[in-house]
């Protein structure tokens, strides 16, 4: 059984290949187009997958799985537009043209000659399936939170013995995800992209300043909630998400992107995060009551909110958050939900590109006049990289297969010493060229992780923010004393694990600062040529391509 999973047309478009329930390849379209969160149909991703899988023609695919139900989505959009027929006439016509030409007939977009079965899986079920079927649990609560799928914005389900049973849902326009994106836009950041900036900004503010005002928009309805819509334009505009009434409620004008961040903006971010965590906690409590499970799986784009995610331990013994919980991962989720065979281990996030030494050598030879490079065996390489970390140098890693999802997990990472705050400032200002309030993450061996960080269990995908129990690692610790931790085992990533062990031998701590290998407004590095160009365009000290160590000639 060979399945091709696809997500597209909203954000984080992606494709994957699943064979007999095992995910073999997965990649986001943005890695090819270099457009962050690219929403276009993943033509490049599909071509890459077919080539990597040695499939001569797409007709060898048994089933194409699509991550949402176009007819249900059409029903929601048209019924929503019907509330304001004159105000939404243009948007309605535009949607109908787009829907009838594009969405229902995926074959028009595949245009590779596929004529087989297409399976449409509901949006939140795709989220739930990706989270549950990549977890180690037989029985678990499943909570999915995002902007909107077809109608649903939140679902609580029960996973039991390989099946998913929905217990509760909250429908559009009542959406925690839309609210978070709206305040993200209000603060001058790009929605569906800048939410993590708001999360990073929140600890600098006082949530009490705007908390009551934001909380007043919620109306409790049993286990659910409603959001007063007079402050928002979600039902009739896809350009501006809020109206003047929200400005009046907050007593604050929206921030333009180029304007400086003030204390008011920090306070609003803090209030939003507090509101989200409060509502998220109520959902966790409901999930516990409805499922009676001690385990929970989190999914949907909001599962990237690592600060809120740790609250799940107040209600559950064990928490699973997959490596790509947003729409990209739903391409995989749709396949795993459709597949009816034996459940397989799909915990591996390294599903993308890798390159042979001969390919890398071609690029290095081309830049021979400005780069110095030398190949090492694996043991020597790890020793040398650890020396660079000890010497407070910044190292870019490009080794083995690329990660799937928004987090770099050691194969397409920039790593550095986590010890001193100056390193964080240097990375933000000089290397990444981004806002100074943005935090970095520590990677740590699993066996040493609880010595330093207040975590309950392994955090392999960097989706939990936890307290730093020490005064160490200033560069990887946020202003509120928290870290977005990644725990690493020999089984999950042997080379990265061995590097952390060697760093421990040389520095005393099996920890490095880890951030994604990209510069400002760039997607994560996919090719050796990109790696070299970005290395040359930055003040990164050392580039590692496979087993080559590369430095700049003076």
- The verdict on residue 418 lying in a domain is yes
Percentage of residues in the chain having pLDDT higher than 70: 97
Taking CA 439 as the corner, what is the angle to CA 436 and CA 442, rounded to the nearest 5 degrees? 140
393 shares a domain with 285: no
Contact 249, 212 (CB under 8 A): no
Beta bridge partners of 405: none
Cis peptide before 173 (omega within 30 of 0): yes
545 shares a domain with 412: yes
Q: What is the CATH number of the domain that holds 87?
A: 3.30.420
Q: What is the CA radius of gyration of the chain?
A: 23
Q: What is the pLDDT of residue 112?
A: 59
Q: For the chain, what percentages of helix, strand and coil (3-state, to nearest 5) are there?
A: 40, 20, 40
Mean pLDDT of 510-537: 97
Contact 410, 493 (CB under 8 A): yes
- The verdict on residue 375 lying in a domain is yes
- The verdict on residue 148 lying in a domain is no
Beta bridge partners of 552: 371
385 shares a domain with 333: no
Please tell me which residue, 146 or 432, carries the higher pLDDT value.
146
pLDDT at 102 over 50: no
Q: What is the pLDDT of residue 103?
A: 47
Q: Which of 261, 72, 283 is nearest to 177 (CA)?
A: 283
Give the H or E element holding residue 299.
strand 295-299
Mean pLDDT of 223-234: 96
435: pLDDT confidence band, cut at 50, 70 and 90?
confident
Q: What is the CATH number of the domain that holds 206?
A: 3.30.420.40
192 CB burial (10 A radius; 0-12, 13-18, 19+):
buried
239 shares a domain with 122: no
Q: What is the dihedral of CA 326, 328, 333, 338, to 10 degrees?
A: 140
N-to-C CA span, the chain: 54
331 shares a domain with 316: no
Matching residue, tokens 């509901």: 122
100: pLDDT confidence band, cut at 50, 70 and 90?
low
Give the H or E element holding residue 107.
helix 106-110
Mean pLDDT of 138-144: 98
Token reading at 421: 């705050």
The answer for residues whose C-beta is within 8 angstroms of residue 407's C-beta and 6 or more apart is 323, 349, 461, 462, 463, 486, 516
Q: Which of 409, 431, 413 is nearest to 422 (CA)?
A: 431
pLDDT at 529 over 90: yes
Q: SS3 for 553?
A: coil
Q: What is the DSSP string of 542-554?
A: EEEETTEEEEE--
331 shares a domain with 300: no
423 shares a domain with 542: yes
Beta bridge partners of 155: 144, 169
Q: Which of 400, 322, 338, 352 is nearest to 26 (CA)?
A: 352
Identify the sign of the CA torsion 218, 221, 224, 228.
negative
Q: SS3 for 140?
A: strand
Q: What's the CA gap between 153 and 125, in Å, rounded?
A: 11
Q: What's the CA gap between 529 and 532, in Å, rounded?
A: 5
Q: What is the CATH number of the domain that holds 384?
A: 3.90.870.20
Q: What is the pLDDT of residue 236?
A: 87
Q: What is the pLDDT of residue 199?
A: 96
- The verdict on residue 158 lying in a domain is no
- The verdict on residue 343 lying in a domain is no
Beta strands across the sheet bearing 139-145: 163-171, 152-160, 139-145, 295-299, 318-320
Q: What's the CA gap between 186 and 516, in Å, rounded?
A: 27
378 shares a domain with 525: yes
Q: Which of 57-71, 103-117, 239-253 has the lowest mean pLDDT?
A: 103-117
Token reading at 543: 């580039």
Beta strands across the sheet bearing 22-28: 22-28, 14-19, 2-7, 63-66, 117-120
Q: What is the pLDDT of residue 226?
A: 97
Contact 337, 214 (CB under 8 A): no
The CA distances from residue 242 to 77, 80, 89, 178, in Å, are 18, 17, 19, 10
- The verdict on residue 517 lying in a domain is yes
368 shares a domain with 334: no
Percentage of residues in the chain having pLDDT higher than 90: 86
203 shares a domain with 101: no
| pLDDT, the chain, mean | 94
510: pLDDT confidence band, cut at 50, 70 and 90?
very high
The domain tally of the chain equals: 3
Phi, psi for residue 539 in degrees, rounded to 5:
-105, 25
Q: What's the CA gap between 307 and 482, in Å, rounded?
A: 9
Q: What's the CA gap between 327 and 46, in Å, rounded?
A: 16
The CA distances from residue 435 to 253, 412, 425, 427, 530, in Å, are 21, 21, 10, 10, 23
Distance of CA 317 to the CA centre of its chain: 24
pLDDT at 238 over 60: yes
- The verdict on residue 160 lying in a domain is no
pLDDT at 95 over 90: no
115 shares a domain with 22: yes
Please tell me which residue, 308 or 80, carries the higher pLDDT value.
308
Mean pLDDT of 33-61: 93
* pLDDT, tens digit, 9 for 90 and up, residues 12-35: 999 999 999 999 999 999 999 999
Q: Which of 161, 164, 134, 140 is nearest to 346 (CA)?
A: 134
Single residue among 289, 305, 338 that ends a domain in this structure: 338
Beta bridge partners of 224: 221
Mean pLDDT of 259-272: 97
Please tell me which residue, 109 or 386, carries the higher pLDDT value.
386
pLDDT at 240 over 50: yes
Q: What's the CA gap between 339 and 190, in Å, rounded?
A: 36
HEC secondary structure over 430-498: HHCCCCCCCCCEEEEEHHHHHHHECCCCCCCCCCEEEEECCCCCHHHCCCCCEEEEEEECCCCCHHHHH
Q: What is the pLDDT of residue 104?
A: 44
- The verdict on residue 52 lying in a domain is yes
318: pLDDT confidence band, cut at 50, 70 and 90?
very high
492 shares a domain with 530: yes
Distance of CA 207 to the CA centre of its chain: 25
Interstrand relation of 511-516 and 482-488 (parallel, antiparallel or unpaired): unpaired
Query: What are the strands, taking DSSP E only, across 146-282?
Result: 152-160, 163-171, 218-221, 224-227
Please tell me which residue, 250 or 101, carries the higher pLDDT value.
250
Domain that holds residue 257: 170-320
Matching residue, tokens 């006439």: 89
Contact 527, 414 (CB under 8 A): no
Matching residue, tokens 């829907």: 99
């Amino acid at each position: 059984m060979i399945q091709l999973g696809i997500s597209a047309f909203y954000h984080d478009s992606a494709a994957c290949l699943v064979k007999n329930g095992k995910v073999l390849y997965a990649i986001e379209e943005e890695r090819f187009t270099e457009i962050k969160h690219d929403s276009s149909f993943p033509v490049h991703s599909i071509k890459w997958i077919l080539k990597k899988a040695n499939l001569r023609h797409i007709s060898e695919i048994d089933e194409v799985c699509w991550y949402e139900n176009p007819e249900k989505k059409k029903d929601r959009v048209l019924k929503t537009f019907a509330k304001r027929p004159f105000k939404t006439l243009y948007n309605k016509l535009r949607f109908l043209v787009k829907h009838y030409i594009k969405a229902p007939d995926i074959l028009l977009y595949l245009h590779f000659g596929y004529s087989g079965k297409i399976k449409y899986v509901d949006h939140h079920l795709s989220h739930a399936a990706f989270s549950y079927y990549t977890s180690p649990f037989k029985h678990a609560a499943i909570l999915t939170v995002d902007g909107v799928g077809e109608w649903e914005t939140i679902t609580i389900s029960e996973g039991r013995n390989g099946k998913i049973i929905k217990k509760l849902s909250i429908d559009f326009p009542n959406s925690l995800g839309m609210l978070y994106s709206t305040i993200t836009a209000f603060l001058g950041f790009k929605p569906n992209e800048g939410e993590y900036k708001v999360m990073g900004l929140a600890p600098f503010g006082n949530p009490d300043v705007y908390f009551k005002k934001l909380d007043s928009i919620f109306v409790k309805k049993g286990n659910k909630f409603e959001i007063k819509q007079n402050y928002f334009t979600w039902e009739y505009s896809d350009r501006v998400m809020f109206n003047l009434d929200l400005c009046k409620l907050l007593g604050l004008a929206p921030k333009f992107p180029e304007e400086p961040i003030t204390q008011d903006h920090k306070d609003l971010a803090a209030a939003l995060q507090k509101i989200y965590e409060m509502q998220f906690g109520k959902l966790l409590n409901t999930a516990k009551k409805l499922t009676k499970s001690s385990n929970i799986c989190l999914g949907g784009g909001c599962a990237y909110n690592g600060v809120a995610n740790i609250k799940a331990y107040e209600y559950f013994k064990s928490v699973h958050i997959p490596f790509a919980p947003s729409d990209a991962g739903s391409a995989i989720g749709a396949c795993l939900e459709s597949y009816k065979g034996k459940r397989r281990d799909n915990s591996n996030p390294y599903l993308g590109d890798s390159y042979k030494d001969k390919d890398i050598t071609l690029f290095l030879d081309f830049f021979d006049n400005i780069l110095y490079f030398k190949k090492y065996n694996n043991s020597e390489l790890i020793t040398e990289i650890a020396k660079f970390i000890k010497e407070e140098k910044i190292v870019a890693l490009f080794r083995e297969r690329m990660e799937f999802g928004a987090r770099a997990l050691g194969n397409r990472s920039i790593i550095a010493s986590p010890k001193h705050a100056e390193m964080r400032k240097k990375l933000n200002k000089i290397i990444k060229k981004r806002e100074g309030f943005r935090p970095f993450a520590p990677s740590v061996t699993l066996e040493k992780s609880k010595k330093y960080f207040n975590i309950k269990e392994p955090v392999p995908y960097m989706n939990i923010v936890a307290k730093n129990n020490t005064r160490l690692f200033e560069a990887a610790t946020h202003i509120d004393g928290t870290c977005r931790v990644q725990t690493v085992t020999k089984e999950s990533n042997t080379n990265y694990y061995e590097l952390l062990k060697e760093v421990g031998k040389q520095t005393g701590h099996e920890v490095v600062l880890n951030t994604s290998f990209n510069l400002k407004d760039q997607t994560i590095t996919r090719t050796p040529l990109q790696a070299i160009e970005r290395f040359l365009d930055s003040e990164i000290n050392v580039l590692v391509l496979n087993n080559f160590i590369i430095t700049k000639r003076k």
